[in-house]
Amino acid sequence: MQINQHLTSSSTGDLRGKTALITGASRGIGFAIASALAKEGVNIAVNSRSAANLEHVKRELSSYGVKVLACPADLSDASTPAKIIGDIITHFGQLNILVNNAGIAVRKPLAATTANEWDMHMAINARAPFLLSREAIPYLKKSDHATIINISSVVGSKAYVNQGAYTASKHALEGMSKVLAQEVFQDGIRVHVIASGGVATGMITGTRPDLDVSVLPAPEEIADIVLFLLTHRGNAVIDKVNVRRSTKSPWT
Ligand SMILES: NC(=O)c1ccc[n+]([C@@H]2O[C@H](COP(=O)([O-])OP(=O)(O)OC[C@H]3O[C@@H](n4cnc5c(N)ncnc54)[C@H](OP(=O)(O)O)[C@@H]3O)[C@@H](O)[C@H]2O)c1
């Protein structure tokens, strides 16, 4: 079996001149990932709903000397992914890296969760990564550093009370990622999942007000993991990275 691995020197480490889409890049983990990649010379397409926030992000990332495209759009709309990928190809002519990071999490028991809240979690956290991946695949196949990174959560495999819709959506994201990884690896496309416990962003203060934010990983630490995955494209592949805060007991 011949697997298209593209093991060139540029694909094992140097990210300069590559193009990446980071969803949910206006703040938190997505902004940290976009900044880390821009510092490595990656041209960046940034998405979130707020055009004004993305203009601020665009100015900041451009200061690293890379090209930045703002793609303001709501990922709960099923027509958004095709439009974003189309705009990126029109603008950059290529796409090497897709980071499905945008997400929502509403803290509620399932007994109080509405159908709309359930649907929004599934649409943003699971369906959008599927549709963005599907639309990106033809271009990733032509790319020499083809990578999809899906930002899951500890609840992609565990189950936390008061996070039922969020837990279900991250389980769906991980299930989709496992199938996707198998379906595209022979095309040289690598699919990674990063599943973290609490990270110090605005999201965690809403979902886990009980946690001390000062002991949580910073968003930049998740960005470091993304960089590691992208710059280690030898013959060893990491399918999933589980992350916990240093104060939490291992393997729990
Ligand atoms: N923080 C944690 O503790 C933690 C732990 C594990 C995993 N995660 C995951 O990490 C990812 C990022 O989380 P975060 O903590 O950085 O969250 P955050 O600070 O709340 O940021 C969420 C990002 O997603 C965007 N977004 C939300 N709804 C959107 C939509 N409908 N369309 C497009 N963009 C949308 C937001 O921008 P706009 O509001 O402008 O649209 C924002 O840029 C999520 O997938 C989350 O589940 C977080």
Q: What is the 3-state secondary structure (H, E, C) of 27-64?
A: CHHHHHHHHHHHHCCCEEEEEECCHHHHHHHHHHHHCC
Structure tokens at 100: 């499905």
Name the residue with tokens 């890296």.
Answer: 97
Considering the domain boundaries, does residue 196 fall inside one? yes
Model confidence band, residue 43 (pLDDT cutoffs 50, 70, 90) = very high
Q: Which helix (H) or strand (E) holds 144?
A: none
22, 23, 27, 71: which to mutate for ligand 1, most atoms within 8 A of CB?
27
In the predicted model, is pLDDT for residue 246 greater than 90?
Answer: yes
Cα 61 to ligand 1 centre (Å): 19
Considering the domain boundaries, does residue 158 fall inside one? yes
Considering the domain boundaries, does residue 114 fall inside one? yes
Considering the domain boundaries, does residue 167 fall inside one? yes
| Closest ligand 1 atom number to CA of residue 23 | 34
Residues 6+ apart with CB under 8 A from 37: 15, 20, 22, 44, 97, 226, 227, 230
Model confidence band, residue 122 (pLDDT cutoffs 50, 70, 90) = very high
By the 8 A CB rule, do 169 and 114 touch?
A: no
Q: Which of 64, 139, 160, 166 is catalytic?
A: 166
What number of CA atoms fall less than 13 Å from residue 6's CA on the CB side? 21
Domain harbouring 80, CATH code:
3.40.50.720
Mean pLDDT within 75-90: 98
pLDDT of residue 241: 98
Model confidence band, residue 6 (pLDDT cutoffs 50, 70, 90) = very low
Q: Where are the alpha helices (DSSP H) in the chain?
A: 9-12, 28-39, 51-62, 80-92, 115-121, 128-140, 164-184, 202-207, 219-231
Mean pLDDT within 40-68: 98
Considering the domain boundaries, does residue 248 fall inside one? no
d(CA 168, CA 128): 15
- For 218, the 3-state DSSP assignment is coil
The conformation of residue 214, written as its DSSP 8-state character, comes to G
In the predicted model, is pLDDT for residue 147 greater than 90?
Answer: yes
By the 8 A CB rule, do 169 and 126 touch?
A: yes
Q: Determine whether the shortest distance from the Cβ of 202 to ligand 1 is under 6 A.
A: yes
Model confidence band, residue 46 (pLDDT cutoffs 50, 70, 90) = very high
pLDDT of residue 206: 87
Mean pLDDT within 50-57: 98
Residues recorded for the chain:
252
Structure tokens at 55: 């203009």
Q: Determine whether the shortest distance from the Cβ of 26 to ligand 1 is under 6 A.
A: yes
Structure tokens at 197: 């416990």
Structure tokens at 37: 């990649």
The residue whose C-alpha atom lies closest to atom 11 belonging to ligand 1 is 101
Model confidence band, residue 13 (pLDDT cutoffs 50, 70, 90) = confident
Mean pLDDT within 55-83: 98
Q: Determine whether the shortest distance from the Cβ of 195 to ligand 1 is under 6 A.
A: no
The pLDDT tens digits for 156-213 are: 999 999 999 999 999 999 999 999 999 999 999 999 999 999 999 999 998 988 999 9
d(CA 202, CA 9): 38
In the predicted model, is pLDDT for residue 21 greater than 60?
Answer: yes
Q: Is 64 a catalytic residue?
A: no
In the predicted model, is pLDDT for residue 8 greater than 60?
Answer: no
Torsion sign across C-alpha atoms 197, 203, 205, 210: negative
| Closest ligand 1 atom number to CA of residue 216 | 3
Q: Determine whether the shortest distance from the Cβ of 163 to ligand 1 is under 6 A.
A: no
Torsion sign across C-alpha atoms 140, 75, 104, 222: positive
pLDDT of residue 12: 62
Considering the domain boundaries, does residue 19 fall inside one? yes
Considering the domain boundaries, does residue 10 fall inside one? no
Considering the domain boundaries, does residue 85 fall inside one? yes
- Average pLDDT of the chain? 95
Model confidence band, residue 1 (pLDDT cutoffs 50, 70, 90) = very low
Q: Determine whether the shortest distance from the Cβ of 70 to ligand 1 is under 6 A.
A: no
Structure tokens at 148: 């999809």
Model confidence band, residue 111 (pLDDT cutoffs 50, 70, 90) = very high
Number of domains the chain contains: 1
> Which structural domain, as residue segments, surrounds residue 137?
15-240
